[in-house]
A = this chain, B = another copy of it.
C-alpha cells in the first residue's frame, strides 16, 4: 500500500490521532518496517490526505498523529459499465480500476455472463469494498468508488443509462468497430465493456440505440483484465 487509508473508526480524537490494528498494522511492521518517529503517507477515506507520524507501536496496535493537508487526486472522468467478469477476474479488475481513479462502476448482466457468477461471494458488497480499498491504497486516493449491480441489462440500458450518460461521451468497446478508442485528455466518458466473448449483436444494438458508439482498441482482442487498463491508460 502506497497510502495508509484511515477510516472514521480509527480516529481516537477528532482528526488528529489514530490507532491501527490488523492488516494495516502488519503492513506497517512487515513492509515499511517502521518505528516510532517515522512518517507515513496517510489519507482519510472520503477526506483529505497528508502524513502520519508513528507515536507508539506494539505487536497489536500502532498510534499515529496525523496532519491531513491536501485533497485527493482528481477522479478519472470515466463511468464504467462492465459486464460481470469471472469472479476471480472481478476482484483484480475492481482494484485495478480503483487504482486508476474510476469512481463509478455498474456491473451488468449480459448474454454471455454465466449466471453462477452472481452467486459468488466475490460479488458481495464487503468483498468489493475490500478490493476498492486495495485500489485506493495503491493509487494514493481517498475517494471511494461506487459499484452498483444490475442483473437485468435491458431495463438498465433503456431506462437508467440515458440519465447516466448525460454530459458524457458514451462508447462501447467492440473489436470490429471502425472508430478507434480516443487517446488523450477527453471530456467525461461512459465506457461499456462486454464479457469474455463479447456482447452479442442484439446487446450492441441496444447500446447503440441508447446513443453508444462502438470503438475498438488496436487489432487484437484482449482479455478484460488487459483491455480495461489498456483503454483507461489512453486517457491518463
Q: Give A residues with C-beta under 8 Å from B.
A: 2, 73-74, 92, 96, 99-101, 138-141, 183-184, 217-223, 225-234, 236
Collect the chain B residues with CB atoms within 8 Å of residue A184's CB. 183
How far is it, in angstroms, between the C-alpha of A184 and the C-alpha of B139 when the chains are bound? 24
Partner of A223 from the list B99, B101, B218 (CB cut-off 8 Å) is B99
B226 touches A99 (CB 8 A): yes
* Contact for A96 among B139, B183, B223, B232, CB less than 8 A: B223
Most buried by B among A217, A222, A225: A222
Q: Residue of B at shortest CB range from A227?
A: B229
Complex-state Cα separation, A227 to B229, whole angstroms: 7
* Number of copies of this protein chain within its complex: 2
Please tell me if the beta carbons of A220 and B100 are within 8 angstroms of each other in the complex. Answer: yes
Say yes or no: A217 contacts B230, CB within 8 Å: no
User: What are 11 A-B contacts defined by CB distance under 8 Å?
Assistant: A73-B220, A99-B220, A99-B226, A138-B220, A138-B221, A183-B184, A220-B236, A226-B229, A229-B233, A230-B230, A232-B233
Complex Cα–Cα for A226 and B177 (A) = 24
How many angstroms between the C-alpha atoms of A24 and B75 in the bound complex? 43
Closest to A138 in B: B223
Knowing A229-B233, A233-B230, say if A219 contacts B73 (CB, 8 Å).
yes
Task: Indicate if the CB atoms of B236 and A100 lie closer than 8 Å.
Answer: no
Name the CB-closest residue of B to A76: B218
Q: Are A220 and B140 in contact (CB under 8 A)?
A: yes
Complex Cα gap A73–B232 (Å):
23
A139 CB contact (under 8 Å) in B73, B92, B221, B228? B221
A164 to chain B, nearest CB (A): 24
Whether A96 lies near B225 (C-beta < 8 A) is: yes
Roughly how many angstroms separate A223 CA and B231 CA in the complex, as a whole number? 16
